[in-house]
Amino acid sequence: MLDAMARKTAQDDPLAPVTIAVGQEDLLLDRAVQQVVAAARAADADTDVRDLTPEQLQPGTLAELTSPSLFAERKVVVVRSAQDLSADTIKDVKAYLGSPAEEITLVLLHAGGAKGKGLLDAARKAGAREVACPKMTKPADRLAFVRGEFRATGRSATPEACQSLVDAIGSDLRELASACSQLAADVEGTIDEAVVARYYTGRAEASSFTVADRAVEGRAAEALEALRWAIATGVAPVMITSALAQGVRAIGKLASAPRGARPGDLARDLGMPPWKIDRVRQQMRGWSADGVATALRAVAAADAGVKGGGDDPEYALEKAVVAIARAARSR
């Protein structure tokens, strides 16, 4: 009995009778649940886990789940989106908080806003163990998260490596966690910026314009890699065909412009910023007039495939990228 009472106030004990995980970061909420379940199954491998949505936890359901068992089995009851529980069910939960059952661990996941705040306040007043799961919207928060992930694996990573990983992966916490885990498993010694670059360079820049730039430069392998990253990270295929068209047309426009014209004049006449004039000049070195025509046909075919003329938009884009890269070396 004394042990049970101690657990009620032990904020670091995942087997506390009640845990509230508060916030909107899905990865952290899932981890809070996993920690409790792992601790319960370490104590009793046959622990029964019930994972419920607000619709599944009706008035009276909690009483049934937490009623004494003939076999005195350990049980974890997880309630997701507790802020959305009905008024009658909230009354049940509040009543349970006053007298939690032995061998039962209740985990309430709550978004933390004004909705359902009465339940959250009641759980805190009852001494529930609380786990913060805030949405990480600031780069500094994600950087701290990455550092914590490496520390948790017992690995050392330089500040530059942590920053590079955040820059490369972005805001998805699950992907950041997965990347940290992969690096920790694959790399020996200190994880530095060079290691991160080897694994993840290109992801942050995986955009439609990167695909186009690599293609018109004749770098087929890099263009295909950028294409796959772009698609994997959600760039719409139609945006990629548009960028490819712009890249090839820019080559054609500059190739037909008067020789010796100043960048400022060309920028005005061709509708491009001066910095782009310099970039396109570098990109057009291997191009011929026939190559531009071939590339434009390839873009048109890809555009038709992407907009419904073919069964596989990704394949249509790959064909176009290869054709453009070959055309870039047609001179």
pLDDT one-digit tens code per residue, 290-312 = 999 999 999 999 988 887 766 68
pLDDT range class, residue 5, cuts 50, 70, 90:
very low
pLDDT of residue 33: 95
Residue 225: in which H helix or E strand, if any?
Answer: helix 220-232
Token pair 């873009």 in the structure block, residue: 299
- Mean pLDDT for 168-184 is 84
pLDDT range class, residue 207, cuts 50, 70, 90:
low
DSSP SS3 for 28 = helix
Q: Please, what CATH class does the domain formed by 139-200 belong to?
A: mainly alpha
- Mean pLDDT for 159-172 is 83
Comparing 34 with 330, the larger pLDDT belongs to 34
pLDDT of residue 12: 80
Bin 53: left if φ > 0, else alpha if -120 < ψ < 50, else beta.
Answer: beta
pLDDT of residue 71: 63
Of 5-14, 183-192, 222-231, minimum mean pLDDT range: 5-14
pLDDT range class, residue 3, cuts 50, 70, 90:
very low
pLDDT tens digits, one per residue of 222-277? 899 888 888 877 777 888 898 899 899 989 988 887 776 666 677 677 776 666 77
User: Would you list the DSSP string of 145-198?
Assistant: HHHHHHHHTT--B-HHHHHHHHHHH-S-HHHHHHHHHHHHHH--S-B-HHHHHH
Q: Which two tokens stand for residue 239?
A: 């945006």
Is residue 193 within 8 Å of residue 159, measured between CB atoms? no
- Mean pLDDT for 22-40 is 94
The residues spanned by each domain of the chain are 18-133, 139-200, 209-328
Average per-residue pLDDT for the chain: 86
pLDDT of residue 61: 94
pLDDT of residue 216: 94
pLDDT range class, residue 146, cuts 50, 70, 90:
very high
Dist. CA 99–CA 101, nearest whole Å: 7
Of 22-36, 106-120, 189-203, minimum mean pLDDT range: 189-203
Dist. CA 260–CA 145, nearest whole Å: 53
**Percentage, residues of the chain above pLDDT 70:** 89
Q: Please, what CATH class does the domain formed by 18-133 belong to?
A: alpha beta
For domain 209-328, is the CATH number 3.30.420.40? no
pLDDT tens digits, one per residue of 89-124? 999 999 999 999 988 999 999 999 899 999 999 999
Dist. CA 169–CA 200, nearest whole Å: 8
Is residue 161 within 8 Å of residue 198, measured between CB atoms? no
Of 304, 302, 296, 303, give the one whose Cα is nearest residue 249: 296
